[in-house]
Amino acid sequence: MELAERVQSLTPSSTLAITAKAKALKKEGHDVIGLAAGEPDFNTPEHIIQAAKKAMDEGKTKYTPSGGLPELKQQIQKKFKRDQNLEYRENELIVTIGAKHALFTLFQVLLNPGDEVIVPTPYWVSYPEQIKLAQGKPVFVEAQEDNEFKLTPEQVEQAITDRTKAIIINSPSNPTGVIYSREELQAIGDVCLKHNITIVSDEIYEKLIYGEHHHISIAQLSDKLKESTVIINGVSKSHSMTGWRIGYAAGNETIIKAMTNLASHSTSNPTSISQYGALAAYSASEEEVNKMKEAFGERLEKLYQWVTDLPGVSCVKPKGAFYLFPNVKEAAAACGYDEVFDWVEALLEEEKVALVPGSGFGAPENVRLSYATSLDQLEEAAKRIKRFIEKHQ
Residues 48-107 that bind ligand PLP (CB under 6 A): 98-100
Please identify, using beta-carbon distances, which residue of 184 and 202 lies nearer to ligand PLP. Answer: 202
Q: Is 204 in the site for ligand PLP (CB under 6 A)?
A: yes
Residues 80, 104, 107, 124: which binds ligand PLP (CB under 6 A)? 124
Please identify, using beta-carbon distances, which residue of 137 and 239 lies nearer to ligand PLP. Answer: 239
Sheet of 367-370: strand order equals 323-324, 367-370, 356-357
Give least dist CB 140 to ligand PLP, A: 16
Gyration radius of the chain's alpha carbons: 21
Q: Find the angle CA(184)-CA(95)-CA(51) to the nearest 5 degrees.
A: 115
Q: Is 220 in the site for ligand PLP (CB under 6 A)?
A: no
Largest CA distance in the chain: 63
Please identify, using beta-carbon distances, which residue of 240 and 272 lies nearer to ligand PLP. Answer: 240
Q: Is 271 in the site for ligand PLP (CB under 6 A)?
A: no
Q: Is 40 in the site for ligand PLP (CB under 6 A)?
A: no
SS3 221: coil
Give least dist CB 1 to ligand PLP, A: 30
Give kind and range of the element (H or E) at residue 168.
strand 164-170
Q: Is 337 in the site for ligand PLP (CB under 6 A)?
A: no
Q: Is 236 in the site for ligand PLP (CB under 6 A)?
A: yes
178: closest CA among 134, 140, 216? 216
Please identify, using beta-carbon distances, which residue of 245 and 386 lies nearer to ligand PLP. Answer: 245
Extended beta strands in 235-318, E state = 247-250
Q: Which amino acid is present at 76?
A: I
Please identify, using beta-carbon distances, which residue of 127 and 337 lies nearer to ligand PLP. Answer: 127
DSSP for residue 314: B
Q: Is 120 in the site for ligand PLP (CB under 6 A)?
A: no
Residues 75, 186, 242, 314: which binds ligand PLP (CB under 6 A)? 242
Q: Is the preceding omega at residue 122 within 30 degrees of 0, hence cis?
A: yes
Let me know: does 335 contact 392? Beta carbons within 8 Å.
yes
Give least dist CB 242 to ligand PLP, A: 5
Rounded CA-CA distance 267/311 in Å is 49
Q: What are the angstrom distances between the C-alpha of 12 and each of 213, 242, 348, 391?
A: 34, 19, 19, 32
Question: Which residue number places its CB atom closest to ligand PLP?
Answer: 98
Give least dist CB 390 to ligand PLP, A: 33
Please identify, using beta-carbon distances, which residue of 136 and 247 lies nearer to ligand PLP. Answer: 247
Q: Which amino acid is present at 168?
A: I
The dihedrals phi and psi of 255, each to the nearest 5 degrees, come to -65, -45
Q: Is 358 in the site for ligand PLP (CB under 6 A)?
A: no
Number of residues that bind ligand PLP (CB under 6 A): 13
By CB under 6 A, name the binding residues for ligand PLP. Answer: 38, 98-100, 124, 170, 174, 202, 204, 234, 236, 242, 247
